[in-house]
Amino acid sequence: MKVLFHPASVYRHLVTGYRLLPFRFMRFPDRLVLLTNDGGEFHFLPANTFRDYAQGRLQVDSVEYRTLKAKHFLTDSESTLPVELLATQYRTRKAFLDGFVKLHLFVVTLRCDHSCRYCQVSRVTQDRTRYDMTTDTASKAIDLMFRSPAPALKVEFQGGESLLNFELIRWVVTEVESRNQTERRQIDFVIATNLSPLSEEILQFCAEHHIHLSTSVDGPAFIHNANRPRPGGNSYEMTVQNLERARKVVGHDGVSALMTTTPLSLRHPRAIVDEYVRLGFDSIFLRSISPYGFAVRGRQELTYQTEQFLAFYKEALDQIIDLNRKGTPLVEVYTQILLQKILTPFATGYVDLQSPAGAGISAVAYNYDGDVYAGDEARMLAEMADTSFRMGNVHTDSYEDLFGGDLVRGLVEASVLETLPGCSDCAFAPYCGADPIFHWTTQGDPIGHRPSSAFCQKNIGVFRHLFDFLRNGDAFTKALFISWATQQPLMQPV
C-alpha cells in the first residue's frame, strides 16, 4: 500500500532550531506565565516550560512547541510567512484607523435641569440660552463632518441636557439627512439625555428618524436620586417613567443606559445589577468616575481607590455571570469590549481603548460655541479652563488645520502604546489603549507615569481577572465569554 504521509519523526532531523517571534509576557500565580503577541494571540506556560521556550530548548515533538508555533510565538522556518501572518493580524486589529474620524459629538447646549454630583460637564442653569449652539455653528460642524472619509458616521448630541435645545437637534438631523442624499454615508444618530424633557413630539421625531436614546441609570432609587438630584427630588421616578414611554415609541432596543460608580455605588454592586435586570435591560456598563468637570470639583466627596472599584467590578461581574447561568441574559459591556480584543482578531470602536488613542482621529467634539476638541473629554477639560486639547474653531479654521495640525499629530505620537514606557513591554498591550487626555488631567503629562496611573491600574486589574477566568473558569463561563466576544448566541457546554 502506498504511504501518503510519513510520521513526524521522518522530518524531525530537518528542524535545526527555532527563532522566537516578538512576544510579551507577565507572570501569574501558580508559577504560570502569560505570553501575548501583537497579533493578539495568548498562551499560558508553566514557568519552567517558559524558560525552556525562551532559551530555545523546547522539544520539537511537544504539544507546547506545536501550539506556540501555531500561534506565531516561534518559527522554525526561513520563510517570512509567519511574520507576514503576524503583520496581517496586527493590521486587522488596527482597522479602526480606516476612515479617520467616525464619531462626531455635537454639544448643543450646556443647560441642564439636573445637578448630578459627579457630572463630567460643567453645566449651566436652564435659562442661560447663550450657551446653546446655533444653526450657523452646527452647519459649519456638519461641513467638517462630511469632510471625513469615513463611510459610516455617528452623530451624537451631548449637553448639558441636550433635549433642552431640541429644535437645533431637529435642524441638524434634517440637514444631515438632506446632505446625505448626495454623500451616501451610513449615518447613525444618538441623543444623550436624562429623558426629563421628553415629549411625544420628540419621541415621534426620534422614531421617524431612527434616533437612539442614551440615558443614565445609576441603580435603585436611593442610589440614582442621591447621585443625580433634580428639583422635586424625583429623578429616578421620572427616568423610569420616561424610559418606558420611550421604549413604547422607539422600541425596546432604541434606549440604552449607562451607570457611573460613586462611593455609594461601591457598597451595592448586586443591587445595581438587579435593578438593570428589573428594568428590562440586556446590558450594563460598569463605569468608574472620570476626572473632569463637577466630578473634580467634588473630588474629596467622590474619591475612591482603584482597588475599591475593582472589588465592585468583580462582585458585579460574578452576579452577572450567575444571572446568565440561571437563564437571565445580561452583558457587561466593558468586559465584552475587552473580550472582543482578546478572543477575536477584530478592532472595536471603543475610543478610550485604542492605540493610537482615538482623540481627534476617531472622535471629535464640536462645542456649542464652535470650538473643536479632540473628543468629549477634551471638551470637558476646557470647561475647567484647560484648553490644551482645543483643535480650533469651526468659524475660523479649515479642516486641514483642525485635523492635520500639531495638536492632533502630537496626540497620536503620545498615544502609540507600543512605544510608551511602561506599555511597550506590558503583556496586555495588544488589548489595551492609551489615553493622553486622562493622563494630562491626572498627571500633567500626556504620556504619564504608568506605574502610578489609575487608568493602567484599573485596566491591568480587569485584564488579570478576565485572564484568570479564561485560564480557570468553568465551561459555562468560558462559553459565555465567547458569546459576548463574538456577539453570537450562547452555546451551552455539553
Average pLDDT for the chain: 92
pLDDT at 129 over 80: no
- Which residues, 6 or more positions from 370, have their beta carbon under 8 angstroms from its beta carbon? 137, 140, 141, 393, 394, 395
pLDDT of residue 115: 74
pLDDT of residue 492: 74
Which stretch of 94-103, 229-238, 277-286, 418-427 has the lowest confidence by average pLDDT? 229-238
Q: Are strands 24-28 and 152-158 parallel, antiparallel or unpaired?
A: unpaired
Furthest-apart CA atoms within the chain: distance in Å: 92
Give the C-alpha separation, 54 to 51, whole Å: 5
Give the C-alpha separation, 299 to 120, whole Å: 12
pLDDT of residue 14: 46
> Does 160 sit behind a cis peptide bond, omega within 30 degrees of 0 on the bond before it?
yes
Q: How do residues 179-237 score in pLDDT, each as one tens digit?
A: 999 999 999 999 999 999 999 999 999 999 999 999 999 999 999 999 988 888 889 99
Q: What three-state secondary structure class fits 196? A: coil
Radius of gyration of the chain (CA): 25
Mean pLDDT over 54-74 rounds to 95
Residues paired with 390 in a beta bridge? 373
Mean pLDDT over 298-323 rounds to 89
Closest Cα to residue 169, out of 113, 115, 105?
105
Q: List alpha helices for 289-424, DSSP H.
A: 294-297, 299-302, 306-325, 333-343, 376-382, 399-403, 406-413
Give the C-alpha separation, 455 to 377, whole Å: 14
Give the C-alpha separation, 15 to 76, whole Å: 7
Q: What three-state secondary structure class fits 68? A: helix
pLDDT of residue 384: 84
DSSP-derived letter for residue 450 is G
Instruction: Print burial letters for 354-369: b (CB count within 10 Å at least 16), e (below 16).
Output: bbbbbbbbbbbbbbbb
- Which residues, 6 or more positions from 167, have their beta carbon under 8 angstroms from its beta carbon? none
Q: How do residues 450-489 score in pLDDT, each as one tens digit?
A: 999 999 999 999 999 999 999 999 999 999 999 999 999 9
Mean pLDDT over 64-80 rounds to 94
pLDDT of residue 15: 46
Q: In percent, how much of the chain has pLDDT > 90?
A: 83
Which residue spans within 71-210 are E strands per DSSP?
Answer: 74-75, 103-107, 152-158, 186-192
Q: What are the grid coordinates assigned to 456, written together?
A: 493602567
Task: For residue 116, count other CB atoms closer than 10 A to its CB.
Answer: 22
Q: What are phi and psi of 211, to 5 degrees?
A: -95, 130
Mean pLDDT over 307-329 rounds to 97
Q: What three-state secondary structure class fits 362? A: coil
- Structural domains in the chain plus CATH codes: 21-93 (no CATH), 98-403 (3.20.20.70)
Q: What are the grid coordinates assigned to 306, written together?
A: 482603584
Place of cell 468608574: 288
Place of cell 415609541: 249
pLDDT at 418 over 50: yes
Q: How do residues 348-378 score in pLDDT, each as one tens digit?
A: 889 989 999 999 999 999 999 999 999 999 9
Mean pLDDT over 121-147 rounds to 83
Q: What are the grid coordinates assigned to 274, written together?
A: 438587579
Sign of CA dihedral 433, 434, 435, 441: positive
Place of cell 502604546: 417
pLDDT at 256 over 80: yes
pTM over 0.75: yes
Q: Are strands 211-216 and 255-260 parallel, antiparallel or unpaired?
A: parallel
Give the C-alpha separation, 320 to 308, whole Å: 18
Closest Cα to residue 403, out of 96, 95, 104?
104
pLDDT at 13 over 50: no
